[in-house]
């Protein structure tokens, strides 16, 4: 097999120049899929060379994920792992007047690790909450324990399933990323940035492949600056995903990449040559302008806030109704309008 030069734990197997098998490793856990020839010539050799402790197919558990293979799609969810979480018993926690004790800090860090894993693997709807808790540990505010338990209840009472369609046409796929940010809504006036990246084919079928919600890496003094830094990270992820997919399938053509943002001022700034008053922002806007000029980004587009898919990843208490509909119901994505149209 050929290791990916972009991810050393990902291996590809080609037959007559065509991708016929993929294998991903995490320590001593292996996930694979491919043609019958791939299974006979590659996987069977692995079975005869290594001692395999457990092997599952069709419906399986992998690193806390439940993966189910049906007739028309493969689905991934974290529900079973989420059910194992337990609320923090406030009556058993000794609250101190100032700050957290070492025991409380350890407890919260363990909790953050568990929730962050669920968030990054299959639950973008809790991405902001997970980040907020992690950034609040140093605050010493004991209300964080109630917020942590609220996340547990949300994980266990609300489900998200990632679906990867059998009919998805990878030959015609593009990368679509929604980027969003909120200004000074974190402790110490920090700002939050987020994005969701999807694979979308020419028929509008889509699959989520990456998302992020985290504190923006530096302090900013305006909403447009926060939105710009979030958009740069979304653009970088989009280019990375397009490069990896092109490498896996050995495409000769480039894969188009689109960013959707709900800040009109930023979209206008990126598509113009007008100088900005914020000189530091000029640098970040020029990154997006250059990516468009170099054709790394196909387009940087505006969408209204009510159809901004990444909105729920950026602010506390924001409705995740759109996110849940897009992930749990069957829609097609309209690349021209940025709208998910119900089937």
What distance in Å separates the CA atoms of residue 81 and residue 55, rounded to the nearest whole number?
19
What distance in Å separates the CA atoms of residue 292 and residue 39, rounded to the nearest whole number?
42
Residue ranges of the chain with per-residue pLDDT less than 70: 90-99, 139-141, 343
Residue 306, classed as helix, strand or coil, is: helix
Residue 163, classed as helix, strand or coil, is: strand
Q: pLDDT tens digits for 239-285?
A: 999 999 999 999 999 999 999 999 999 999 999 988 888 888 999 99
Element (DSSP H or E) covering residue 12:
strand 10-15
What distance in Å separates the CA atoms of residue 42 and residue 148, rounded to the nearest whole number?
45
Phi-psi group of 278: left, alpha or beta (phi > 0 → left; psi -120 to 50 → alpha; rest → beta): beta
What distance in Å separates the CA atoms of residue 264 and residue 307, rounded to the nearest whole number?
14
Element (DSSP H or E) covering residue 24:
strand 18-26
Q: Copy the structure tokens of residue 21.
A: 């098998």
230 within 8 A of 222, measured Cβ to Cβ: no
Q: pLDDT tens digits for 201-212?
A: 999 999 999 999
Q: pLDDT tens digits for 139-152?
A: 666 778 888 889 99
Element (DSSP H or E) covering residue 60:
strand 59-62
Q: Copy the structure tokens of residue 182.
A: 């909120």
Backbone angles phi, psi at 39, to 5 degrees: -65, -40
pLDDT the model gives residue 117:
92
Q: Are strands 18-26 and 10-15 parallel, antiparallel or unpaired?
A: antiparallel
Give which of 140, 34, 129, 162 is closest to 95, Cα–Cα: 140
Go through the chain and tell me how many residues it has: 343
pLDDT the model gives residue 90:
62
CATH topology of domain 168-342: Nucleotidyltransferase; domain 5 (3.30.420)
Phi-psi group of 204: left, alpha or beta (phi > 0 → left; psi -120 to 50 → alpha; rest → beta): left
pLDDT the model gives residue 343:
55
**Confidence (pTM):** 0.91
What distance in Å separates the CA atoms of residue 65 and residue 190, rounded to the nearest whole number?
32
- Give me the DSSP letters along 169-220: -GGG-EEEEEEEEESS-SGGG--EEEEEEEEE-TTS-EEEEEEEEEE-SS--
């Amino acid at each position: 097999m050929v290791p990916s030069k972009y991810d050393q734990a990902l291996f590809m197997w080609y037959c007559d120049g065509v991708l016929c098998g993929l294998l991903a490793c995490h320590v001593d856990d292996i996930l694979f899929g491919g043609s019958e020839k791939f299974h006979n010539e590659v996987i069977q050799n692995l079975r005869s060379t290594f001692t395999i402790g457990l092997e599952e197919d069709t419906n399986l558990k992998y690193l806390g994920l439940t993966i189910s293979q049906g007739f028309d799609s493969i689905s991934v969810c974290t529900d079973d792992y989420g059910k194992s979480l337990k609320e923090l018993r406030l009556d058993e926690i000794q609250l101190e007047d100032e700050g957290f004790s070492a025991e409380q800090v350890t407890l919260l860090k363990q909790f953050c690790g568990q929730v962050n894993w669920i968030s990054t693997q299959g639950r973008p709807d809790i991405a902001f909450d997970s980040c907020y808790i992690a950034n609040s540990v140093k605050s010493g505010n004991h209300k964080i324990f109630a917020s942590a338990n609220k996340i547990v209840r949300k994980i266990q009472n609300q489900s998200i399933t990632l679906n990867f369609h059998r009919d998805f046409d990878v030959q015609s796929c593009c990368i679509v990323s929604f980027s969003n940010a909120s200004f000074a809504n974190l402790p110490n006036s920090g700002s939050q940035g987020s994005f969701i990246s999807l694979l979308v084919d020419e028929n509008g079928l889509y699959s989520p492949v990456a998302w992020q919600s985290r504190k923006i890496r530096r302090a900013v003094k305006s909403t447009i600056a926060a939105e710009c830094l979030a958009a740069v990270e979304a653009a970088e992820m989009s280019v990375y995903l397009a490069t990896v997919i092109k490498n896996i399938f050995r495409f000769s053509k480039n894969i188009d990449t689109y960013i959707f943002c709900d800040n009109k001022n930023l979209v206008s700034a990126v598509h113009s040559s007008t100088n900005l008053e914020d000189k530091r922002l000029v640098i970040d806007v020029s990154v997006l302008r250059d990516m468009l000029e170099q054709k790394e980004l196909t387009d940087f587009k505006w969408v209204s806030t009510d159809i901004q898919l990444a909105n729920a990843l950026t602010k506390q208490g924001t409705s995740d109704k759109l996110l849940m509909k897009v992930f749990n119901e069957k829609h097609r994505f309209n690349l021209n309008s940025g709208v998910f149209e119900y089937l």
